[in-house]
Amino acid sequence: MNLTNKVVWITGASSGIGEALAHEFAKEGAKLVLSARRLEELERVKRELSLPENAVMTLPIDMLRPEEFAAKTQSVLAHFGRIDVLVPNAGVSQREKFLDIAPADFKRLMDTNFTNLVLLTREVLPHLLAQKSGGILVTSSVSGKIGTSFRTFYSASKHAIQGFFDSLRGEVWQEGVQVTIVCPGYIKTNISYNAIGKDGKPFGKMDENQAKGIPADVCARKMIAAFKAGKREVVIAGFMETLGTYLKRFAPALLWQFTKNYSIKSVDQ
């Protein structure tokens, strides 16, 4: 897919992988819609892109307010006239045990990472189908394939993304709409700082593995390359995480031996 002048809508665009994606899509010549909750951070990203004013739109969005998604979609269409690529990337992680997370907090996580992400997709998809072109580049996770302790709801949300978008692909590919699922491993972002921790508060520190993770710009380039190549799915992770995805399929008992204490150590640091 040639991305020149394509309209790309990125959620979670104010930091991390989303911010890196904005820079990489800009290099591809795309027109961008940048969405996240913090307008000031979106405007910062917009300035740093150095794109023409008419090539970037900042559109604050709260993934916990799905009642606004239809109006937000219409704002994009009014501004650019079309949407070519949806990049549902916004999300929140977890660093706490299942029984120590309040129901309101795990509902917030599931709504942000899965339910409301799907509802936003529902608003955009009819326009892609009408155009018979474009696609969805969705951020899942290696946690969408491998469940580990202290990641119960995060892993559940990413497993749900895998199932939903694999199924959706089967419904839309004949209409010219591409669905690419990306499964990042540890990427060097602030996701662990903002993860749901004790009493629903942010975890507030960097995982050791996160700090050693793949740079966000490298991840973003690989995501876009996979999308342009028409891939259905890509794992972007270190050797051990990638190996884990194969062990999950072919040697799950061995994977269990490797992972049964893995996340406990990272949280207890």
- Domain assignment present for residue 1? The answer is no
CA distance 113 to 90: 7
Longest pairwise C-alpha distance within the chain: 54
- Domain assignment present for residue 146? The answer is yes
CA angle 25, 120, 141 (to 5 degrees): 60
Give every CB contact of residue 71 below 8 A, 6+ residues apart in sequence.
none
- Domain assignment present for residue 162? The answer is yes
pLDDT, tens digit only, all 269 positions of the chain: 899 999 999 999 999 999 999 999 999 999 999 999 999 999 999 999 989 999 999 999 999 999 999 999 999 999 999 999 999 999 999 988 999 999 999 999 999 999 999 999 999 999 999 999 999 999 999 999 999 889 999 999 999 999 999 999 999 999 999 999 999 999 998 888 778 888 788 788 877 778 889 999 999 999 999 999 999 999 999 999 999 999 999 999 999 998 887 655 455 44
State the pLDDT at residue 265.
46
State the pLDDT at residue 269.
42
CA distance 171 to 55: 31
What residue has token string 């190549």? Answer: 229
- Domain assignment present for residue 2? The answer is no
State the pLDDT at residue 201.
84
What residue has token string 């739109």? Answer: 57
Token duo for residue 7: 């309209």
- The 3-class SS string of 184-224 reads ECCEECCCCCCCECHHHCECCCCCHHHHCCEEHHHHHHHHH
- Domain assignment present for residue 129? The answer is yes
Query: What is the total count of domains within the chain?
Result: 1
Catalytic residue among 154, 186, 246, 262: 154
CATH code assigned at 250: 3.40.50.720
pTM of the predicted structure, to 2 decimals: 0.94
State the pLDDT at residue 121.
98
Domain that holds residue 148: 7-267
Nearest to 151 by CA among 189, 186, 180, 116: 186
Which residues on adjacent β-strands are paired with residue 214? Answer: 187
- Domain assignment present for residue 215? The answer is yes
- Domain assignment present for residue 112? The answer is yes
- Domain assignment present for residue 182? The answer is yes
Check if the beta carbon of residue 194 is closer than 8 Å to that of residue 109. no
262 is catalytic: no
